[in-house]
Amino acid sequence: MTMLKWKDRASLLAAAAAIGLGMAGCAPRTEPAGNDTAHESPEGEAAGNGALPNNQVDDGAKEDAAKSIIRPDIEPSPTTTPPAKAAELTVPFPASGVQPDAAGRALLDTLAADPVVALGGPITIWGHSDSKGSDAANLSASRRRAEAARDYLVTKGIAADRMTVIALGEARPIAPNRNLDGTDDPQGRDKNRRVEIKVDVPANAPAADAAPSNDP
């Protein structure tokens, strides 16, 4: 009877030891799980990002960032100032009128303020008329219109010796004076009563983009 009890106790101890070993094998591991849960120091993060201590930034990084935005190998193309061009103007005149009206004077004011006038080039003024009246009367009217335009420009500070007056009368119409049925064409006559002005650029005009000289 004593031997049987001893065997039962030994069997119980062996079973308990086996259960303990099994529970130990099932216990969770407490080691770090690699980089997913590892925590690095702030110094380690700074080293990994290429930054310097004390919030300093590498000069090389600055240069690379600048090159990524601005390409120093591409230079802007120089802009060239176009050469000055001759100015042209047509001033209409009222019927039987030899003086410019308010609209005509406004056009002459615009011409006088044109930068090409300040270059000092020659100015040609052509006077025209419609075909109503005699050739001599129309030639005289066209001359008086051209002279009136010249005199007005003189009041704006333009020298009279720069301006040449040419009277053409009815010789160069730009619109019909009469319709095909022979009737009068008032609109065509209005267009023909005019003064044409051209301001040429002088041959020795300085370049528009040339810098002024400081020589005495």
Its sign, for the CA torsion 107, 112, 116, 121, is positive
Lowest model confidence (mean pLDDT) among 43-47, 60-64, 84-88, 154-158: 43-47
- Domains of the chain, residue spans: 87-199
Give the span between the Cα atoms of 170 and 178, in whole angstroms.
13
Give the span between the Cα atoms of 100 and 194, in whole angstroms.
9
Lowest model confidence (mean pLDDT) among 15-24, 133-142, 144-153, 190-199: 15-24
| pLDDT tens-digit map of 126-140 | 999 999 999 999 999
Q: Which residue has the higher pLDDT, 96 or 119?
A: 119
Q: Residue 54: its pLDDT value, please?
A: 56
The yes/no answer on whether domain 87-199 falls in CATH 3.40.50.800 is no
Report whether 157 contacts 112 (CB < 8 A). Answer: yes
| pLDDT tens-digit map of 35-65 | 444 444 444 444 445 445 555 555 555 555 5
- Locate 173 and state its tokens: 């119409």
